[in-house]
Amino acid sequence: MGDEELRAKTLHLAREMGLLVLRRQGSVPPFGLTLDPAGDNPRTFFPRDQRPQASSDELLDATVAHLARGRASADVGALAVVTTLESEGGPSGLGIQVETRASAVFLIYPYSKSAQDWGLGEPQPAKGLLVGPLLHTAMQ
């Protein structure tokens, strides 16, 4: 699988999982996702499961630490960090950082709740990255 395809697949899975969590909980505590180099074998890490009382910053740190430990593995071709981003005076958003070994992107999907369901707006590219880089070696 090419880099662009791998990045797109990882972004799609991270977005869909983030939206699912948002619909269930009303926000998205930080979590991580990895795919192998072929774009298969998705694995998730939800630190809230082990640390239910932790703050969002602590959960983000735990997610980053977990992904950093696994980045040297040949089984990791792409990774994503997903979390709610709060904005003072503006809409909240779903922040998704996706990295492959050749590229990295950080997008923010504004979200809103209608009477029936949560919805995501068009992604906005962010300057820089949320964390890291963790996997993308050209930026290190």
Angle at 51 between CA 104 and CA 112, to 5 degrees: 55
Residue 140 pLDDT: 43
Structure confidence at residue 45 (pLDDT): 96
Average pLDDT over every residue of 12-22: 96
Q: How far apart are CA 104 and CA 91, in angstroms?
A: 24
Please say if the pLDDT value at position 16 is more than 90: yes
Q: Look at the pTM and tell me if it is higher than 0.95.
A: no
